[in-house]
């Protein structure tokens, strides 16, 4: 069995793994990436990019319909064929040649196959031709193997064909009846996207008492109203207890705990993610092969002597978001090279956007999460349409902006925005949270008029009690 040595060996060629190798190389180290699937990972082909491409045409039409001078021009719906072709292009037609070229141009070696730890600083790769090689890491091994769709223990669910995020984002046509299990990010985004793309009957079943239960309640309420206005049925506080399918391609019947039944052409299971850490040889370094890998402030896997094993992105479970995985990758690339870096963002302020209409954009904890953590906080909230820039977005604009303020330190610890395009408001809030900018100093950050960003001034006024 041949052996090769690098400074850094990365298991996983998704966005996190690519960036870890790139930053290691930019710090003067050699790196190899081991990947058995498409280089570029989940975000490129089955998540971030294709899902947003599916949502964008309907979002643009909805925005145009709200503008008096533009609404008469909107005489039809989404051009479904063109929308799907655009989706295919944004997913690179599920061809990773350009991602492979990026890896090679960055200076990393790409090893095709499945990598498993084989003891300290060693990775055994089962290559696609059936052969195996050993990669030895002089400095570090980085686990960046991502996650997969979780399948809950519902009677019959594993016995029938269902859709997960990969199926729904790569589907070639809209099912007439679409049933979605889970009202989180994937569930609500795909419900709206495929309703716009032609699904006539879309139903979301959510076990919690509201959609997107990890976000602020007002955001859940506004989103549910918008989805229901589109004709989407939302069943909250509903538990699916059993499913069956009539034949391989026949309709799906789902049973709820109240005894009712739902029938659909396709069932999307969107109840969260599970880490892909089960077949990585973790036992060869004294770790249990289950669940997320616990890491320290420098993303080193705990309980591994010598501090040579790292876990980033979905593998460590800190924040299952592409941008956070890339952040962790940059940090690890520097740490391995000897730079003094620690993970601040995952603990202090994770930015997140739900790309529905209205968008939901948030950073840091919600009010309830902050209070549960023992913080003494206050919240201020204003209507997005209360600023000139918001009203210019069109008639019937709804949305809110809220800050969670630490009363003792007088800094912002969390923020939530709802409304059209509010994802672009988020980075200012992220800077304020991560930078712990004092509220008094933010008064000197003047928002341009007439932009939606003027909502920041209204929020600061609300904090002072100015109405």
DSSP 83-122: HHHHHHHHTGGG--HHHHHHHHHHTPEEEEEEEEE-STTE
Give the pLDDT score at 389: 95
Q: Which fold has domain 157-271?
A: FAD/NAD(P)-binding domain (3.50.50)
Over residues 26-48, the pLDDT tens digits come to 999 999 999 999 999 999 999 99
DSSP secondary-structure letter at 74? -
Q: How confident is the model at residue 24 (pLDDT cuts 50, 70, 90)?
A: very high
Q: Where in the chain is the domain with CATH 3.30.390.30?
A: 358-464
CA nearest to 16, candidates 323, 358, 427: 323
Would you state the CATH architecture of domain 358-464? 2-Layer Sandwich (3.30)
The percentage of the chain sitting over the pLDDT mark of 70, rounded to a whole number, equals 100
Alpha-carbon distance of 192 to 171, in angstroms, equals 15
The phi and psi torsions of 133 (rounded to 5 degrees) equal -135, 160
Closest CA to 181 of 250, 249, 256: 256
Q: What is 384-400 written as a DSSP string?
A: GGGSHHHHTT-TT---E
Q: Please choose, from the candidates 359, 126, 146, 172, the residue with its C-alpha nearest in 3D space to the C-alpha of residue 273.
A: 146
Mean pLDDT, the chain, integer = 96
Predicted local confidence at residue 312, as pLDDT: 98
Cβ neighbourhood burial of 76 (10 Å; 0-12, 13-18, 19+): exposed
- pLDDT tens figures, 296-333: 999 999 999 999 999 999 999 999 999 999 999 999 99
Q: Which residues of the chain are in CATH 3.50.50.60 domains?
A: 3-40+96-148+274-347, 157-271
Q: Which two tokens stand for residue 214?
A: 């990890």
Q: How far is CA 304 from the centre of its chain?
A: 29
DSSP-derived secondary structure letter, 425:
G
Structure tokens at 31: 């790196």
Q: What is the mean pLDDT of residues 115-130?
A: 94
**Quick one: angle between helices 97-106 and 15-26, nearest 10?**
20
pLDDT of 467 over the 90 cut: no
CA distances from 288 to 71, 113, 118, 121, 341 (A): 58, 23, 14, 17, 27
Question: Is pLDDT above 90 for 16?
Answer: yes
- Rounded mean pLDDT, 342-357: 96
pLDDT at position 167, please?
Answer: 98
Q: What is the mean pLDDT of residues 204-226?
A: 98
Q: Output helix, strand, coil percentages for the chain, rounded to the nearest 5.
A: 35, 25, 40
In 280-321 the beta strands, taken as DSSP E runs, fall at 309-311
List, in sequence order, every residue forming a beta bridge with 363; answer none if it has no partner.
351, 415
Rg for the chain (alpha carbons), in Å? 24
Cβ neighbourhood burial of 383 (10 Å; 0-12, 13-18, 19+): middle
pLDDT of residue 9: 98
pLDDT of residue 268: 98
pTM of the model: 0.96
pLDDT digits (tens, 9 = 90+) for 195-209: 999 999 999 999 999
Which class is domain 3-40+96-148+274-347?
alpha beta
pLDDT-derived band at 69 (thresholds 50, 70, 90) equals very high
The pLDDT score that the predictor gives to residue 50 is 98
Interval 209-217 mean pLDDT: 98
Work out the average pLDDT over 411-428: 97
């Amino acid at each position: 069995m041949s052996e090769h040595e690098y400074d850094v060996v990365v298991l996983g060629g998704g966005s996190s793994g690519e960036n870890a190798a790139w930053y290691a190389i930019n710090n003067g180290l050699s790196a190899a990436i081991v990947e058995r699937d498409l280089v570029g990972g989940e975000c490129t082909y089955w998540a971030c990019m294709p899902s947003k491409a599916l949502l964008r045409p309907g979002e643009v039409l909805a925005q145009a319909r709200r503008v008096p001078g533009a609404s008469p021009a909107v005489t039809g719906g989404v051009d479904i064929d063109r929308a799907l072709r655009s989706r295919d292009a944004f997913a690179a037609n599920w061809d990773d040649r350009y991602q492979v070229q990026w890896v090679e141009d960055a200076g990393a070696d790409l090893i095709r196959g499945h990598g498993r730890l084989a003891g300290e600083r060693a990775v055994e790769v089962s290559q696609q031709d059936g052969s195996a090689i050993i990669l030895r890491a002089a400095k570090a091994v980085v686990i960046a193997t991502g996650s997969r769709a979780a399948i809950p223990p519902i009677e019959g669910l594993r016995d029938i064909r269902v859709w997960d995020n990969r199926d729904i984002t790569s589907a070639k046509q809209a099912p007439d009846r679409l049933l979605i299990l889970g009202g989180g990010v994937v569930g609500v985004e795909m419900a709206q996207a495929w309703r716009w793309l032609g699904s006539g009957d879309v139903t979301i079943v959510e076990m919690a008492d509201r959609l997107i239960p990890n976000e602020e309640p007002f955001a859940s309420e506004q989103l549910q109203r918008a989805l229901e206005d589109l004709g989407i049925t939302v069943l909250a506080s509903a538990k699916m207890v059993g499913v069956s399918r009539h034949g391989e391609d026949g309709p799906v019947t789902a049973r709820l705990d109240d005894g009712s039944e739902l029938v659909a052409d396709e069932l999307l299971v969107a109840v969260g993610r599970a880490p892909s850490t089960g077949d990585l040889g973790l036992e060869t370094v004294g770790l249990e092969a289950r669940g997320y890998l616990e890491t320290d402030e420098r993303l080193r896997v705990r309980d591994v002597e010598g501090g040579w094993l790292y876990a980033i992105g979905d593998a460590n479970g800190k924040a299952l978001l592409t941008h956070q995985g890339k952040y962790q990758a940059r940090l690890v690339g520097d740490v391995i090279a000897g730079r003094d870096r620690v993970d601040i963002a995952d603990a202090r302020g994770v930015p997140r956007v739900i790309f529905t209409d209205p968008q939901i954009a948030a950073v840091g904890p919600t009010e309830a999460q902050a209070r549960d953590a023992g913080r003494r906080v206050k919240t201020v909230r204003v209507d997005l349409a209360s600023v000139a820039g918001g009203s210019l977005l069109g008639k019937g604009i709804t949305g809110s902006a809220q800050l969670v303020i630490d009363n003792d330190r007088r800094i912002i610890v969390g923020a939530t925005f709802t409304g059209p395009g509010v994802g672009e408001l988020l980075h200012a809030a992220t800077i304020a949270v991560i930078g712990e900018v004092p509220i008094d100093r933010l008064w000197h950050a003047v928002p341009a008029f007439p932009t939606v960003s003027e909502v920041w001034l209204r929020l600061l006024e609300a904090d002072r009690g100015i109405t």
